[in-house]
């Protein structure tokens, strides 16, 4: 894959910068960790070269100094809130994250339940944590948060929260998703540490928006597209501009909350260590972009993909149409249209030519392979088959799957599962290809090309079944499709 981001430089710069921030606060820093620690595929898509586990690898360079505090909102437990990308509840994800952290060699010190009103809600979580030897602390909803600082910074505010026992200089506060209460947890600890005579510090680690890129840079616009459901807006940090005369980018929620945070810092410490929201951040990603055009084009493609994803969700009535309007606005700001996605244009052209649904896949070198509906396969299956033949150097007109391996699957689908459509989905096509590969060397050679599909782009002009979406995702093909075409 063509890269535009220097991952090794990033790991070094980021870990060094966090060490400097720890030193600034006398060896105790609470670091609010935004975004995904594992599998950060958004960052790897818009910053080609950024490894999906870069944040984890960066923390591993600090593992002797760091401990993890995981935060979960009691209201999310009560609502059985689910991580859509993984299909598991936030409570399940906290337990998963603990196992992942430990397996990677990081120390998990505790879990915090925020917005606690009924401790019994977390009885199951507490029991699972006890098995792992991890304490559960309780924090409560505070009247007047975040504006009534007099009440918040009192025994009836943060004072009623449990004090989290920590043992290491870097405390990484993370959560399964937004709205968990990471910032409030950090601020509560600053209050409690100060009462114990410890001048602990606070910092925030968010990859996006990238503070030292322009406001309308494609990478920052791609962040707006990714958070359209949250209605986040990138904006110039007015506090930073006033303090330093420099233009930096932050997002609306941090800019809006900064005056309150500054007041809290002043009341806890006597003064604020930060003159702006940008000062609170520690993100070094913007310094590690080596190829501006590669990164910009990757971000523009992400914006188009996000548009199609939201469009499909609107059609399925899974989100408000205003979310799609936000995506359309971001596309205009980025100066892109759906026609700027080469696989979209090629798939649509083939559909116009054949009068049936079509698909297109683009390799990094710009080669585009297509596929279309047939009696045996849908467009996504045909596209993958043709792409595998291309990578294996096999004549595209050659049939690799024995018809005898097609027929049993089709009979099973129609006669026993009641499907009206006998065409093979991607998983079924790959199973049939695997069966043929036992005796057909060409089929075996084609199957061996599956890893070469990772990072490619594709578009399908029809709706895509959940199983096809899952297979394409597993193959790491970055796919768009049109849910209103059935």
Distance of CA 461 to the CA centre of its chain: 26
Higher pLDDT, 98 or 177: 98
- pLDDT value at residue 420: 63
Residue 176 has pLDDT above 70, yes or no: yes
Query: Helices 252-269 and 182-195 meet at what angle, rounded to 10?
Result: 10
Confidence of residue 134 (pLDDT cuts 50, 70, 90): very high
- Taking alpha carbons only, the member of 34, 267, 74 closest to residue 157 is 267
What is the structure's pLDDT at 383? 98
Q: What tokens were used for 431? A: 């199973």
The predicted pLDDT at position 229 comes to 83
Q: What mean pLDDT value characterizes the chain?
A: 92
Residue pLDDT, tens place only, 259-295:
888 988 898 888 999 999 999 999 999 999 999 999 9
Cα separation, 450 vs 452, whole angstroms: 5
How far is it, in rounded angstroms, from Cα 169 to Cα 172? 10
pLDDT tens digits, one per residue of 314-354: 999 988 999 999 999 999 999 999 999 999 999 999 999 99
Handedness of CA 319, 320, 326, 332 (dihedral sign): positive
The H or E element spanning position 173 is strand 170-174
Alpha-carbon distance of 296 to 347, in angstroms, equals 24
Break the chain into its structural domains and give their ranges: 7-288, 341-481
Nearest to 166 by CA among 142, 144, 186, 139: 186
Q: Tell me which of 260-264, 386-390, 426-430, 478-482 is least confident.
A: 260-264
**Residue tagged 């070198």 (tokens):** 365
In 3-state terms, what secondary structure has residue 18? helix
Query: Residue 36: what pLDDT?
Result: 75
Average pLDDT (169-188) is 92
Strand order from edge to edge, sheet including 170-174: 136-140, 108-116, 66-73, 170-174, 29-33, 201-205
Q: C-alpha angle with apex 308: 296 to 323, nearest 5 degrees?
A: 95
pLDDT value of residue 403: 72
Instruction: Return the number of other C-beta atoms located less than 10 Å from residue 41's C-beta.
Output: 14
Would you tell me the crossing angle of helices 426-437 and 379-392 to the nearest 10 degrees? 40
Q: Is the peptide bond before 146 cis (omega within 30 degrees of 0)?
A: yes
What does the pLDDT read at residue 414? 65
pLDDT at 268: 86
Instruction: Determine which helix (DSSP H) or strand (DSSP E) holds 89, and give its type and residue range.
Output: strand 88-89
**Is the pLDDT reported for residue 170 higher than 60?**
yes
Residue range 353-362, pLDDT digits in tens: 999 999 999 9
108 bridge partner residues: 68
pLDDT of residue 35: 76
Residue 418: what pLDDT?
65
Chain segment 182-225, per-residue pLDDT in tens = 999 999 999 999 999 998 999 999 899 999 999 999 999 999 99
pLDDT at res. 236: 97
- pLDDT classification of 85: cutoffs 50, 70, 90: low
Is the pLDDT reported for residue 413 higher than 90? no
- This prediction has a pTM of 0.88
The SS3 call for residue 294 is helix
The answer on pLDDT for 426 being more than 80 is yes
Give the architecture (CATH level 2) of 7-288: Roll (3.10)
**Minimum mean pLDDT range among 28-32, 51-55, 364-368:** 51-55
Question: Which among 21, 284, 274 has a CA at the least distance from the CA of 170?
Answer: 21
Identify the pLDDT of residue 253. 85
CATH number of the 341-481 domain: 3.40.140.40
Per-residue confidence (pLDDT) for residue 486, from 0 to 100: 44
Contact 160, 154 (CB under 8 A): no
- Whole-number Cα distances in Å, 126 to 60, 91, 94, 132: 27, 11, 12, 10
**Helix, strand or coil, per DSSP, at residue 69:** strand
Nearest-angstrom CA–CA distance, 387 and 343: 13
Q: What percentage of residues in the chain have a pLDDT greater than 70?
A: 97
Closest to 331 (Cα-Cα) out of 315, 310, 353 = 310
């Amino acid at each position: 894959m063509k890269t535009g981001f220097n991952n090794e430089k990033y790991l070094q710069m980021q870990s060094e910068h966090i060490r400097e921030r720890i030193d600034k606060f006398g060896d105790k820093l609470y670091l609010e960790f935004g975004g995904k620690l594992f599998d950060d595929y958004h960052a790897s898509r818009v910053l080609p070269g950024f490894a999906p586990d870069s944040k984890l690898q960066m923390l591993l360079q600090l593992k002797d100094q760091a401990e993890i505090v995981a935060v979960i909102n009691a209201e999310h437990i009560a609502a059985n809130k689910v991580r859509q990308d993984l299909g598991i509840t936030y409570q399940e994800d906290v337990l998963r994250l603990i196992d992942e952290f430990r397996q990677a060699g990081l120390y998990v010190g505790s879990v915090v339940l925020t917005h606690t009103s009924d401790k019994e809600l977390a009885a199951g979580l507490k029991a699972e944590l006890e098995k792992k030897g991890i304490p559960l602390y309780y924090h409560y909803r505070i009247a007047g948060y975040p504006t009534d600082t007099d009440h918040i910074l009192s025994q009836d505010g943060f004072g009623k929260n449990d004090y989290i026992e920590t043992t290491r200089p870097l405390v990484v506060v993370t959560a399964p998703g937004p709205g968990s209460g990471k910032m409030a947890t950090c601020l509560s600890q600053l209050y409690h540490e100060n009462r114990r005579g410890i001048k602990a510090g606070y910092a925030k680690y968010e990859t996006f928006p990238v503070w030292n890129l322009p406001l309308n840079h494609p990478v920052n616009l791609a962040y707006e597209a990714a958070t359209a459901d949250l209605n986040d807006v990138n904006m110039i940090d007015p506090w930073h501009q006033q303090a330093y005369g420099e233009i930096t980018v932050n997002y609306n929620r941090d800019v809006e909350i900064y005056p309150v945070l500054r007041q809290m810092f002043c009341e806890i410490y006597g003064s604020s260590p930060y003159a702006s929201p940008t000062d609170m951040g520690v993100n070094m990603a913007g310094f590690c972009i080596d190829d501006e055009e590669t990164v910009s084009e990757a971000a523009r493609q992400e914006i188009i993909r996000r548009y199609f994803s939201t469009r499909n969700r609107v059609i399925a009535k899974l989100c408000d149409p205003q979310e799609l309007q936000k995506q359309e606005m971001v596309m205009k700001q980025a100066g892109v249209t759906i026609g700027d996605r080469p696989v979209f244009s090629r798939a649509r052209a083939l559909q116009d030519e054949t009068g049936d649904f079509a698909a297109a896949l683009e390799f990094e070198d710009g080669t585009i392979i297509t596929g279309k509906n047939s009696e045996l396969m849908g467009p996504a299956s045909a596209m993958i088959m043709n792409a595998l033949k291309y990578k294996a150097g096999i004549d595209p007109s050659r049939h690799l799957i024995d018809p005898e391996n097609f027929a049993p699957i089709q009979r099973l689908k129609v006669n026993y599962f009641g499907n009206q459509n006998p065409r093979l989905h991607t998983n079924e096509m790959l199973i049939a290809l695997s069966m043929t590969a036992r005796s057909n060397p060409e089929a075996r050679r084609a199957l061996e090309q599956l890893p070469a599909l990772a990072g490619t782009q594709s578009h399908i002009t029809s709706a895509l079944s959940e199983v096809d979406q899952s297979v394409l995702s597993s193959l790491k093909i970055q796919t768009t499709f049109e849910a209103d075409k059935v």
